[in-house]
Chain A
Amino acid sequence: MSTASEEKLEIALTHEAENHKWRMDKKAGGDAAFKGMTALFAFAVLAILLLMLVELAGESFPAMRKFGWRFVPGKEWDAVQGLFGALPYLWGSVVSSVLALALATPLSVATALFITEIAPKKVGGLIASLVELLAAIPSVIYGLWGILVMAPWLQRTVQPFLAEKFGFLPFFQGAPYGVSMLAAVFILMIMVVPIITSITKEVLLTVPQSQKEAAVALGATRWEMIRMAVLPYGKSGILGAVILGLGRAVGETMAVTMVIGNTPQISLSLLAPAYTMPSVIANEFAEATSKIHTSALMEIGLILLFVTLAINILAQFLLWSVTRGQKGGGRI
């Protein structure tokens, strides 16, 4: 009698144990599948970046084979004859971004210093949020303002003034068209200032309080404290912010396309229309009919990708070395 019930119990226990083991296996299986799925998505990011490089390189292969290295210094761009050279676009991209950065950098750093070191905390916070909010405006809207408001204003007042007073310089010659390299430089400056300002602000907030207090304790004025304690500490981070801004300016498409005038020429004059790498892609890619035309545009895209990759890697490296540090952020 008792043996029978013991036997039953034993069977039940074995069953339960097996069931438990099965459940545990299932659990582990679920975990493994979940891990595998997340890993797949994570590696997708790496794959996307590689895919971009491979696709662009593959698609630009016909142009590379036809033109070789002559593509880069080539000045001709003639879709009918099938002649393509990238120099006017490279020139336009480099000049517009570098000039925009040269104007934007001092303004941005000064604004970031004003926000973090000078303005009362509430005012500084307000300016910072305003700047960040404006950084979110899409580039097509900057372009809309640029082509309908800024370019006519440049044409009416700024360009005639520059041509009259400084017309003896090669940089300010020619008729005022409004849409021009100058317009592109201005719109790019307006667009990168919020980016550089907000990153520089973050960098400046990492300057340790003790560093600043030490400078003030030694009798430094506020400006001397900024120059001796704040700026040297944030140097590489600020450089990172500026380079990140450069990356944004080089890749900026819509706003520049709308105000630069889209003329593939190399002119020293800022009043003359020009062209950039992203702009020519934006304007011609959808309408390119011949294989070699598409391929040449793909090669311009590839050059653009390499340039922005190099710029971004450099910027990430510089910023990474700063933001890993301790949080500071006190105000004196």
Chain B
Amino acid sequence: MTQLTLRKLKNSGMTLAMAAATLAVLIPLILIFIHIVRMGASSISLDFFTQIPRPTGETGGGMANGMVGSALLIALASAFGIPVGIFGAVYLAEFGGGRLSGAIRFSADILAGVPSIITGMVAYALLVVPMKGFSALAGACALALIMIPIVLRTTEEQLKLVPTTLREASLALGVPLWRTTLKVTLHSAMKGVMTGILLAIARISGETAPLLFTALGNQFWGKKLTEPIAAMPLQIFSFAIAPYEDWHRLAWSGALVLVTLMFTLSLTARYLGRSKQKN
């Protein structure tokens, strides 16, 4: 009987320990979240969205150039990365097979784990050096390299879920294979594909390391794609490590805007994924 009591005691003890661990995990994460919301909300203003950063010593200013820069970088990176990811996935799911496809799948998984700063170094060597200068274009390419494996793998998973009978029905009606793939297969997997795209955008919108020596950042408005451009994560970084209270406030506001954007994207992605599962 004592043996049983001991076992039950141990069970309760371990249950308690696991609950405590869960709490220990959640507390710092929640603290971070609360800090971002509190510090961000108290210093955000209309200026934040309309002004560019002021020189040190002057109060006020905003991150308008960073927001526009980030939007531009994300749009360009999507234009480069999404087609490669989607059509690469079409190859793997529809036409591929055998060892070579396995190798592509494997390298996509490995590519997703490569530190993002290395992506930046490669973009530097391939674009910044030959073009003789930091540029928005190089930054967008570095971000595109991060998007490709995410979009590719999620799209492939979604295409595999499309029933073969749908493809066969379309082909039997005399529709060419390429139209079948675009209009039937990809079309029916659209929701899932969108989920992957949203997740990829959420991921790159906060990336800082690959932009450090590609897009570089810019105190002012960038005028051309071949010039350095401001980006929100870069601004948050340089403001956070600077010793000025005013800049810290801007950094917190930037963090709040960025986190709101990412949460919106991930929640939309999750919602799309869930509504897809129901069908």
Among listed B4-12, B44-52, B54-62, B188-196, interface-contacting one: B4-12
Q: Which residue of B lies closest to A115 (CB)?
A: B22
Residue interface mask A136-166, B partner, CB < 8 A = 1: 1111111111011100000000000000000
Q: Which residue of B lies closest to A301 (CB)?
A: B121
Residue interface mask A88-115, B partner, CB < 8 A = 1: 0000000000000000001110110111
Please indicate the chain B residues that have their CB under 8 angstroms from the CB of A221 in the complex. 7-8, 10-11
Q: Are A224 and B115 in contact (CB under 8 A)?
A: no
Please indicate the chain A residues that have their CB under 8 angstroms from the CB of B29 in the complex. 130-131, 134, 190, 193-194
Please indicate the chain B residues that have their CB under 8 angstroms from the CB of A282 in the complex. 117, 209, 212
**8 A Cβ contacts from B233-256 to A:** 233, 236-237, 240-241, 248, 251-252, 255
Please indicate the chain B residues that have their CB under 8 angstroms from the CB of A141 in the complex. 32, 36, 206, 236, 255, 258-259
Please indicate the chain A residues that have their CB under 8 angstroms from the CB of B36 in the complex. 141, 145
CB distance from B128 to the nearest CB of A (A): 10
A163 vs B113: C-alpha distance when bound (angstroms):
37
With A106-B21, A221-B8, A312-B110 as known contacts, state yes or no: A145 contacts B237, CB within 8 Å: no
Among listed B161-169, B174-182, B218-226, interface-contacting one: B174-182
A138 contact from B89, B213, B252, B262, Cβ within 8 A: B262
A223 vs B253: C-alpha distance when bound (angstroms):
45
**8 A Cβ contacts from B104-136 to A:** 104, 106-111, 113-119, 121-122, 124-126, 134
In terms of DSSP, what is the predominant structure of the interface of chain A? helix
A218 vs B103: C-alpha distance when bound (angstroms):
45
CB distance from B174 to the nearest CB of A (A): 9
Interface centre among A45, A148, A226 (most CB of B within 10 A): A45
Interface centre among A141, A278, A309 (most CB of B within 10 A): A141
Residue interface mask A187-202, B partner, CB < 8 A = 1: 0001001100100000
With A39-B91, A41-B83 as known contacts, state yes or no: A140 contacts B121, CB within 8 Å: no
A136 contact from B15, B25, B202, Cβ within 8 A: B202
Kindly state whether residue A42 has any CB partner on chain B within 8 Å: yes
Kindly state whether residue A18 has any CB partner on chain B within 8 Å: no
Q: Are A41 and B125 in contact (CB under 8 A)?
A: no
CB distance from B152 to the nearest CB of A (A): 6
Interface centre among B19, B178, B266 (most CB of A within 10 A): B178
Kindly state whether residue B71 has any CB partner on chain A within 8 Å: no
Please indicate the chain A residues that have their CB under 8 angstroms from the CB of B111 in the complex. 45, 48-49
Q: Are A308 and B113 in contact (CB under 8 A)?
A: yes
Q: Are B240 and A148 in contact (CB under 8 A)?
A: yes
Please indicate the chain A residues that have their CB under 8 angstroms from the CB of B67 in the complex. none
What number of A residues sit within 8 Å (CB to CB) of B? 88
With A38-B87, A224-B11, A309-B110 as known contacts, state yes or no: A30 contacts B178, CB within 8 Å: yes
A298 vs B118: C-alpha distance when bound (angstroms):
9
Q: Are B121 and A298 in contact (CB under 8 A)?
A: yes
Q: Which residue of B lies closest to A113 (CB)?
A: B18
Among listed A2-10, A70-78, A250-258, interface-contacting one: A250-258
CB distance from B167 to the nearest CB of A (A): 13
**8 A Cβ contacts from B66-108 to A:** 83-85, 87-92, 94-96, 101, 103-104, 106-108
Q: Which residue of A lies closest to B213 (CB)?
A: A286
With A107-B25, A141-B236 as known contacts, state yes or no: A278 contacts B15, CB within 8 Å: no
A278 vs B91: C-alpha distance when bound (angstroms):
34
Please indicate the chain B residues that have their CB under 8 angstroms from the CB of A34 in the complex. 177-178, 181
CB distance from B117 to the nearest CB of A (A): 5
Kindly state whether residue A85 has any CB partner on chain B within 8 Å: no
Q: Which residue of B lies closest to A134 (CB)?
A: B29
Kindly state whether residue A222 has any CB partner on chain B within 8 Å: yes
Interface centre among A31, A42, A134 (most CB of B within 10 A): A42
A-B residue pairs in contact (CB < 8 Å), sample of 12? A44-B148, A46-B104, A52-B119, A115-B22, A130-B26, A134-B33, A190-B32, A253-B117, A285-B124, A286-B212, A309-B114, A312-B110
Known: A45-B152, A190-B28. 8 other contacts (CB 8 A): A34-B181, A41-B83, A55-B125, A127-B22, A194-B29, A197-B25, A258-B241, A297-B121
Q: Which A residues are closer than 8 A to B by beta carbons?
A: 27, 30-31, 33-35, 37-39, 41-46, 48-49, 51-52, 55-56, 58-59, 106-108, 110-111, 113-115, 118-119, 127, 129-134, 136-145, 147-149, 190, 193-194, 197, 221-224, 226, 244, 247-248, 250-254, 258, 278, 281-282, 285-286, 297-298, 301, 304-305, 308-309, 311-313, 315-316
